[in-house]
Structure 1
Amino acid sequence: MNSLKTATLRFANLASSATGALGKRDFTRSLWHMTKTPADAVGDHVTVLNVHKPSINCTCGCNVHTKGERELVEFLTEEILAERKVQKGKTVPTTLDGFSVKLTGSEVELSKQTDKEKVIISLNVNHTVDSEQEPEINPNADKPELGEMRSKPQFEVDIVKGNTTLSFTCSYLEGEAQEGEYNDVFSIDEMSIYEGEWNEKIYAVAGDVLDGYLYDLLMNLLEEKGISNEFAEKLSDLATAHEHISYIALLEKLSKFTGSK
């Protein structure tokens, strides 16, 4: 049994405890790192295992870098190439359904101005990537089946009229709706309304304690402002693209930092 299969079996035996102790992303990404190669790369954050021994001599011809640094740079070179292949030129749009898009590091802000009001959507892509499905662990298989990795961040919606802001905190719903349930892609976690700047003293009500009819009316209001289920799916696509671009940039910075003299 080769080392890759042994590592996968060992991880499968720890799956039940690992999923409880770690986040879903950590569990998925660890499996991803053990199983993917350039030929079968189909999802985000693909990792290529360097199965050959790293070269003894430093690739830049110096004797400054340690063995660990050389191995890391060699691995990152392959990793970055694989991630770029998966990316396939995906970019973050400058506008989305009438909203202008602004990127600041890991933060994303979308805004739309009308004569009566301004609608602002803000989110952060850090720690938001998860697989569409839990990986299926089969001890007899060389590698598990993995779902596409997507970013589904919590996002804030602020509807501003003059000096007053109606604010919503929203998050994506997990899983598929059952028969007889609403097919909402996201839910309202919290709502508040305030004058001037927000502060911690402002009262906010949780979405799950709102009157059911009031909750539906608020969801209708958001849809009228452009935040529909379809828009939420597009917003997830945008966040996924930005998170992946940011991940590749992080790998490139790490490679440059490690390989510098």
Structure 2
Amino acid sequence: MNGIVRNALRVSALKSIVSPTNAVGTAKRQFTRTLWNMCNRHPTEAAPLTSVKIQAPSELCSCGCGSRGAHTKAEKDLVEFLAEEIVAEKKAQKLRTIPTEVDGFKVSLDGAEVTLTKQQDGETIKINFNVNHTVDTDAEPEIDPNDDKPDIGDMKSKPNFEVDIIRGKQTLGFTCSFNNEPGASGADDNYNDIFGIDEITLYEGEHSDKVYAVAGEVVDAYLYDLLMNYLEEKGISNEFGEKLIELSTSYEHSAYISLLEGLSKFTSSK
């Protein structure tokens, strides 16, 4: 995820840890205040000595993991922050369940890899993309460092994706990417395509570096438009592109939360 944007997202979460209103900080202040009141009571209010029970100090780690003083300060701070961060990220989730099908394409997940497959008219259409390093905001945010809750826009995952149309032993392949602005790529800027064709290839059998490929920006303008129409007929339209962004955004966010939970377990399991 974009480092600057993601760090900005976490400003409020980090402040909640060091803020005096934090639950942990409140508990510490309450304990200190109680201890101060006990030490400064009037002699007539003091409890009989026989009722005072002295206990040995706990050796358990203060981060709540149950370990006996095994964690360093950095580890304890990390565990505490991750607990807050995981809660915040789960609250921000827009889609908790990843769909198994999108517009007739069956969705398959494997780590950061996502594959969508559809059979139609005697051919197979496969769409592949990877969610790593795909998150950005809709627009470049103007972040005020003095603002507790900066407006950083909606974060979305817009991955490059490959489309393979397989017919028999031949594969017509397209490498596509989402445009920063509609109509920013392609033959005619008047079109409002949200994605464009970066590369076109046609091969038989398995793909290899020997297979010829041509960049979408150098093909004939009319041919480019016809190929975009061809993809639209196969179901890969602007509307489908929006759904692909939604799917990728939800899955990337889910993967990020899983990473935080794994990091928390890794750090606290010492």
Please state how far the C-alpha of 1:91 moved relative to its aligned partner: 1.8
Q: 1:175 aligns with which of 177, 181, 188?
A: 181
Structure 2 residue aligned with 1:13: none
* Alignment partner of 1:60 is 2:27: no
Does the 8 A contact of 2:94 with 2:250 survive in 1?
no
Structure 1 residue aligned with 2:89: 83
Q: 1:135 aligns with which of 130, 133, 141?
A: 141
Structure 2 residue aligned with 1:33: 10
Distance 1:72 1:148, change over 3 A: same
Does the 8 A contact of 1:48 with 1:79 survive in 2?
no
Please state how far the C-alpha of 1:48 moved relative to its aligned partner: 6.2
Structure 2 residue aligned with 1:41: none
Q: Distance in 2 between matches of 1:211 and 1:115?
A: 28
Q: Distance in 1 between matches of 2:189 and 2:259?
A: 44
* Alignment partner of 1:149 is 2:116: no
Q: Distance in 2 between matches of 1:180 and 1:60?
A: 57
Alignment of 1:1-261 (within 5 A): 25-34=2-11, 36-37=12-13, 49-52=16-19, 57-61=62-66, 62-138=68-144, 141-177=147-183, 181-261=190-270
Q: Distance in 2 between matches of 1:74 and 1:33?
A: 14
Q: Percent identity?
A: 56
Q: Distance in 2 between matches of 1:150 and 1:127?
A: 11
Structure 2 residue aligned with 1:5: none
Unpaired runs of 5+ in structure 1? 1-23, 38-46
Q: Structure 1, residues 65-100: CA drift from partner, whole Å, max 9, x if none?
A: 111111100100010001111115532110000000
Does the 8 A contact of 2:199 with 2:215 survive in 1?
yes
Please state how far the C-alpha of 1:148 moved relative to its aligned partner: 0.7
Distance 1:176 1:120, change over 3 A: closer
Please state how far the C-alpha of 1:33 moved relative to its aligned partner: 2.2
Q: Structure 1, residues 7-55: CA drift from partner, whole Å, max 9, x if none?
A: xxxxxxxxxxxxxxxxx92222222222x35xxxxxxxxx664124778
Distance 1:48 1:168, change over 3 A: farther
TM, length-normalised to structure 2: 0.79
Please state how far the C-alpha of 1:158 moved relative to its aligned partner: 0.1
Aligned pairs, number: 228
Q: Distance in 2 between matches of 1:69 and 1:190?
A: 46
Q: Distance in 1 between matches of 2:146 and 2:266?
A: 40
Larger Rg: 2
Distance 1:206 1:173, change over 3 A: same
Q: Distance in 1 between matches of 2:127 and 2:94?
A: 27
Q: Distance in 2 between matches of 1:138 and 1:156?
A: 38
Does the 8 A contact of 2:159 with 2:248 survive in 1?
yes
Unpaired runs of 5+ in structure 2? 29-60
TM, length-normalised to structure 1: 0.81
How much is the aligned-residue C-alpha RMSD, in angstroms?
2.2
Residue 91 of structure 1 aligns to which amino acid in structure 2?
T
Residue 232 of structure 1 aligns to which amino acid in structure 2?
G
Distance 1:140 1:254, change over 3 A: closer
Distance 1:140 1:77, change over 3 A: closer
Does the 8 A contact of 2:176 with 2:196 survive in 1?
yes
Q: Distance in 1 between matches of 2:210 and 2:189?
A: 39
Does the 8 A contact of 2:86 with 2:261 survive in 1?
yes
Task: For residue 91 of structure 2, give the secondary structure of its aligned residue in structure 1.
Answer: helix
Please state how far the C-alpha of 1:145 moved relative to its aligned partner: 1.9
Does the 8 A contact of 1:48 with 1:78 survive in 2?
no
